[in-house]
Amino acid sequence: MIKLLTLSALAALGSASLAHAAPNADPALADRGAYVAKLGDCVACHTGPSNQPFAGGRAVPSPFGDIYSSNITSDPKFGIGDYSLDEFSRAVREGVRKDGARLYPAMPYPSYANISDDDIKALYSFFLNRVAAVPKQAPETKLVWPFSMRWGVGLWDWAFGPDGVTPNAVATDAVARGKYLVEGLGHCGSCHTPRGFAFQEKAYHGDDPLFLSGGEIDHWPTPSLRAGGSGPGLPSWTQEEIAQFLATGRNAHGAVTGEMKLVIEHSTALLTDEDNLAIAAYLKSLPASKAPRPTPASDATQRLTAAKVDPNSGERLFLDNCSACHFVDGKGAPPAFPPLANNTLVNADDPAGMIHVILAGSRLPSTPYAPSDLAMPNFDWRLSDDEVANLATFVRSAWGNQAPAVKPDQVSKVRERVVKENREPSAGPIFTDP
């Protein structure tokens, strides 16, 4: 069939960047879909080094090799422009591609399985009507054998995937809404739930005490998000403080670093206050999995101000390098300078995240609610492995903190990674607002 296109129709096609007629152009539905895409943080993984939103090509690391995200723009050849609603739904909720091949669980479909039909329709409308087509092939994923065989993922799903998922239609109260978001679109468990030998999340639902009990991503410890009861970490944050952290990346207890920065920038900072409060309400409803640590004996502020201080001691190194911003009492000046007393990252059993911040520095993300340029400087050029170990050991035992001592070889391992990151910058700046 031959179609006659007028010049103006051609121009309209070009400017709207829609490669083909969209199946459902209800603008309110597509608007809702744009918000659901933020809840799901789709842009963070599906935008690669070329910085074209949703064009794919970002390497998601797994123990079996890098898995490249797909092009999910409306391009009919290289993207998902020719997917029907059902095909889209199977890919997102069940991990099955249009051609029947299995997706690797680097795409968090085990969590997305609970997305409601309404939200899937809205997402579909957003991707097909609003996301500009990018006619470009995303890089092919090549894992080592036997993981190179996609059909094996079917067995994996059967053995380790979530079961008994009930798509949640309408959440009736804040806790139910929060559960829907955290277990589903927010896929918080993919980083905050410990993984088993087959890289599977050990639990997918809040009634299992392992769910959100803390995990690890790329050698960085992720804290427990189970915020009920009492004890250090999230149980000592109020619901409002948790919501504030999600909206701005900081609060009276700490400031965000590591992979969580991306989650905040691309997802939680862009959500409504009601949704962040709902997430917080749900986390508060989960009883904490760890018993609180006993209260400590020594007073670090006294140790610091004691007259004789050895120049290589952790105390001295802290006074010289850190106290200007974090203060001798370790309380910092939140929200600008986070407290180190009772700080979750500082108290993590695995010190790798904290060592990374000391060596490489960190910059707080700028969010709509809290624009920021504050940075923690890097100390890798200034402090040796021994010095960082002494310093970190001191900070982890001061002001009520109680975490195991740090050894120099733990520092040298993180230093190798920091050197590598500086040599080959990762995915590069990520697109901010679709």
Q: What residues numbered 378-407 form the site for ligand HEC, per CB under 6 A? A: 379, 391, 395
**At 245, which helix (H) or strand (E)?**
helix 239-248
Residue 343 binds ligand HEC, judged by CB under 6 A: yes
Q: In this structure, what token pair is assigned to residue 266?
A: 């691309």
In terms of CB distance, is 13 or 262 closer to ligand HEC?
Answer: 262
Residue 321 binds ligand HEC, judged by CB under 6 A: yes
Q: Which residues pair with 363 in a beta bridge?
A: 375
CB of 280 to ligand HEC, least distance (A): 8
In terms of CB distance, is 18 or 387 closer to ligand HEC?
Answer: 387
Interface segment toward ligand HEC; rule CB under 6 A; list 295-303, 368-376, 405-413, 414-422: 368-376
In terms of CB distance, is 18 or 264 closer to ligand HEC?
Answer: 264
Residue 122 binds ligand HEC, judged by CB under 6 A: no
In terms of CB distance, is 14 or 146 closer to ligand HEC?
Answer: 146
Question: Which residues 187-206 are close enough to bind ligand HEC by CB under 6 A?
Answer: 187-188, 190-192
CB of 412 to ligand HEC, least distance (A): 17
In degrees and rounded to multiples of 5, residue 388 shows phi and psi of -65, -40
Residue 254 binds ligand HEC, judged by CB under 6 A: yes
**Burial category of 63 from C-beta neighbours within 10 Å (exposed 0-12, middle 13-18, buried 19 and up):** exposed
Residue 256 binds ligand HEC, judged by CB under 6 A: yes
Question: Which candidate, 81, 98, 87, 85, places its Cα nearest to that of 18?
Answer: 81
Residue 427 binds ligand HEC, judged by CB under 6 A: no
Interface segment toward ligand HEC; rule CB under 6 A; list 200-208, 290-298, 332-340, 396-404: 332-340
Looking at 60, 143, 175, 405, which residue binds ligand HEC (CB under 6 A)? 60
Interface segment toward ligand HEC; rule CB under 6 A; list 2-10, 19-27, 340-348, 419-427: 340-348
d(CA 44, CA 53): 9
Question: What string of DSSP letters covers 386-400?
Answer: HHHHHHHHHHTTSTT
Residue 245 binds ligand HEC, judged by CB under 6 A: yes
In terms of CB distance, is 18 or 269 closer to ligand HEC?
Answer: 269
d(CA 85, CA 117): 10
Q: In this structure, what token pair is assigned to residue 393?
A: 């050991």
Strand-strand pairing, 220-222 and 59-62 = unpaired
In terms of CB distance, is 188 or 269 closer to ligand HEC?
Answer: 188
Looking at 34, 45, 300, 411, which residue binds ligand HEC (CB under 6 A)? 45
d(CA 232, CA 223): 11
Residue 225 binds ligand HEC, judged by CB under 6 A: yes
Question: Mask of contacts with ligand HEC, 67-106, x by CB under 6 A?
Answer: x-xx-x-------x----------xx----xx----xx-x
In terms of CB distance, is 222 or 248 closer to ligand HEC?
Answer: 222
In terms of CB distance, is 180 or 220 closer to ligand HEC?
Answer: 220
Residue 277 binds ligand HEC, judged by CB under 6 A: no
Residues sharing a CB contact under 8 Å with residue 398, sequence separation 6 or more, in sequence order: 298, 300, 303, 304, 318, 330, 340, 341
**At 65, which helix (H) or strand (E)?**
strand 65-68
Contact (Cβ atoms closer than 8 angstroms) between residue 319 and residue 328? yes
d(CA 217, CA 60): 11
Residue 279 binds ligand HEC, judged by CB under 6 A: yes
Question: Which candidate, 211, 154, 232, places its Cα nearest to that of 399?
Answer: 232
- Please name the residue ranges forming H helices in 47-172: 85-89, 109-112, 117-130, 152-160
Looking at 19, 30, 122, 255, which residue binds ligand HEC (CB under 6 A)? 255
Residue 128 binds ligand HEC, judged by CB under 6 A: no
29-32-38 Cα angle (round to 5): 145
d(CA 322, CA 318): 5
Residue 133 binds ligand HEC, judged by CB under 6 A: no
Alpha carbon 128 to its chain's center = 26
